[in-house]
Amino acid sequence: MGEFVELEINEAIGTIRLGRPPMNALNTQIQEELREAARVAAATPEVRAVIVYGGEKVFAAGADITEFTTTTFQDMTVRAEALSSAFDAVARIPKPVVAAITGYALGGGCELALACDWRVVAADAKLGQPEIKLGIIPGAGGTQRLARLVGPARAKDLIFSGRMVDAEEALRIGLADRVVPAAEVYAAAVELVRPYLTGPALALRAAKQAIDSGLNMDLASGLALESHLFAGLFATEDRVEGTTAFVEKRKPTFTGK
């Protein structure tokens, strides 16, 4: 698909694989290739779940700082929105998405992981938002998604200090969802999404939209969105199959329609 980002499809799992050795530094090119991979994964019916993976050694150790040394305020006012929206494209994939994290997920790498629904983390991995040490702040969703995930006080601790957390702390504060040996990270990510490969794709899509969009609304608006999405699922074949299978006391066979 791109020089640094590939979308590999195998048995209904789309793996967005980063490949810019040695540290998968997220330069402008890889950000745009990531956006395109997310678009294709979202639009491909055969893909029922997505894994974002940086390989066996490292997830992504952050932005390519060499690009920042000559970037002016005027340059970044143009580029900042595109940077954030590239990661947002991953967050908006209307399917279950898991980050499989080995090595380091720092700065933009951590922000990419935050854009996923879950994070499977290697036992020896390190995560963090060290941008403050460069005199800047996270600019691709870190201040927003991290605070929503672990709470504002913990997010401020990590972002103000720029410190890294290990897998044990990440699991304790909710930044990681599963911690496994490094060699088992990708396999554990596959097992996490496997139950959804034969699930009701439209209902899963609606559930993700209701949760993610509802977090940005007041309760009344969120409930209205939920009702709208709930009612819409009564037009799907999977709703007919699911309710019929329940009455007939059998396992449903969903088609994603």
Which residue range forms the structural domain that includes residue 218?
Answer: 201-247
The candidate with the shortest Cα–Cα distance to 101, out of 216, 37, 191, 189, is: 189
Q: Are residues 243 and 142 in the same domain?
A: no
The reported pLDDT for the residue numbered 170 is: 98
- Active site annotation includes 63: yes
238 in a structural domain: yes
Q: Are residues 205 and 227 in the same domain?
A: yes
- Identified catalytic residue from 131, 141, 167, 199: 131
- Identified catalytic residue from 63, 86, 113, 201: 63
18 in a structural domain: yes
Q: Are residues 159 and 209 in the same domain?
A: no
Q: Are residues 192 and 100 in the same domain?
A: yes
Q: Are residues 12 and 47 in the same domain?
A: yes
Q: CA 109, CA 50: separation in Å to the nearest integer?
A: 17
The reported pLDDT for the residue numbered 71 is: 81
Count: domains in the chain: 2
Q: Are residues 105 and 36 in the same domain?
A: yes
Per-residue pLDDT of the chain (257 residues; tens, 9 = 90+): 799 999 999 999 999 999 999 999 999 999 999 999 999 999 999 999 999 999 999 999 987 777 777 888 888 887 888 888 999 999 999 999 999 999 999 999 999 999 999 999 999 999 999 999 999 999 999 999 999 999 999 999 999 999 999 999 999 999 999 999 999 999 999 999 999 999 999 999 999 999 999 999 999 999 999 999 999 999 999 999 999 999 999 999 999 99
85 in a structural domain: yes
Phi then psi for residue 96, to 5 deg, are: -60, 130
Q: Are residues 229 and 185 in the same domain?
A: no
β-pairing, 178-180 with 118-122? parallel
Q: Are residues 89 and 138 in the same domain?
A: yes
Phi then psi for residue 183, to 5 deg, are: -70, -15
- CATH number (domain holding residue 103): 3.90.226.10
- Active site annotation includes 111: yes
- Active site annotation includes 206: no
Q: Which two tokens stand for residue 51?
A: 């894994």
- Identified catalytic residue from 60, 91, 111, 142: 111
Q: Are residues 79 and 149 in the same domain?
A: yes
140 in a structural domain: yes
The reported pLDDT for the residue numbered 75 is: 81
- Identified catalytic residue from 108, 109, 128, 199: 108
The reported pLDDT for the residue numbered 156 is: 98
252 in a structural domain: no
- CATH number (domain holding residue 233): 1.10.12.10
The reported pLDDT for the residue numbered 161 is: 98
Q: Are residues 159 and 234 in the same domain?
A: no
Q: Are residues 140 and 181 in the same domain?
A: yes
The reported pLDDT for the residue numbered 73 is: 87
Tally of CA atoms within 13 A in the half-sphere of 103 that contains its CB:
18
Q: What is the pTM of this model?
A: 0.94
Q: Which two tokens stand for residue 110?
A: 């951590």
168 in a structural domain: yes
45 burial (CB, 10 Å; 0-12 / 13-18 / 19+) is: exposed
Q: Are residues 143 and 224 in the same domain?
A: no
Rg of the chain's alpha carbons, rounded to an integer? 19
255 in a structural domain: no
| H or E element at residue 166 | strand 164-166
β-pairing, 49-53 with 126-128? unpaired
31 burial (CB, 10 Å; 0-12 / 13-18 / 19+) is: buried
Strand partners, 62: none
Q: At what angle do helices 201-214 and 237-247 cross, to 10 degrees?
A: 110
